Amino acid sequence: MPIAALSRWPFFRRWFGDRSERAAERLLLGLGHRIVGRNYSCRAGEIDIVSVDGRCLVFSEVRSTASTDTLRVELSITPEKQRRLTQAALHFLQRHHFKDQLCRFDVLIVSWVAGAEAPTITHHASAFDAIGRFQMDY
């Protein structure tokens, strides 16, 4: 079995997603964030980018599209997705021994419109609150 077959996503989707995450990371760096983790994965889910903005730990979800209509992409961050991101963030905090850490969840929508030289990135800081059982109490 070829190595590419081990992934559940086709090559183009992985490439498109990786490209979008790199663009989002550049934007966050430009805003003064310090990147402390990429593609943090645990049983609960995956966090695309973990960064520090001042004294706040930021868990960022990156979504990409080839369209100018970003509403559908924004709506894909369902309460279930928010719950999984919260659980993954909790795991990150516990694993790295953070206690009483100020945190937030950001969503970055990266729109790659045909013919444009660069993507348009919509950054939703504090896009949602922690959700689920115990929320962020640990």
DSSP 81-104: HHHHHHHHHHHHHHHTT--S--EE
Q: 47, 89 in Cβ contact below 8 A?
A: yes
Q: Is 2 helix (H, G, I), strand (E, B) or coil?
A: coil
Distance CA 77, CA 75 (A): 5
Residue 117 in tokens: 């030289």
Average pLDDT over residues 42-62: 96
Looking at per-residue pLDDT, the higher value among 4 and 103 belongs to 103
Q: Is 5 helix (H, G, I), strand (E, B) or coil?
A: helix
Q: What is the pLDDT of residues 63-112, one digit of tens each?
A: 988 888 888 888 899 999 999 999 999 999 999 998 888 999 999 999 98
What confidence score (pLDDT) does residue 75 get?
86
Average pLDDT over residues 50-74: 91
What confidence score (pLDDT) does residue 117 get?
85
Predicted confidence (pLDDT) at residue 123 exceeds the cutoff of 80: yes
Name all domains of the chain by residue range, CATH numbers in brackets.
20-128 (3.40.1350.10)
| CA nearest neighbour of 59 among 39, 30, 29, 31 | 39
Average pLDDT over residues 38-46: 95
Distance CA 74, CA 68 (A): 12
Q: Is 18 helix (H, G, I), strand (E, B) or coil?
A: helix
Predicted confidence (pLDDT) at residue 27 exceeds the cutoff of 50: yes
What confidence score (pLDDT) does residue 94 get?
93
What confidence score (pLDDT) does residue 86 get?
96
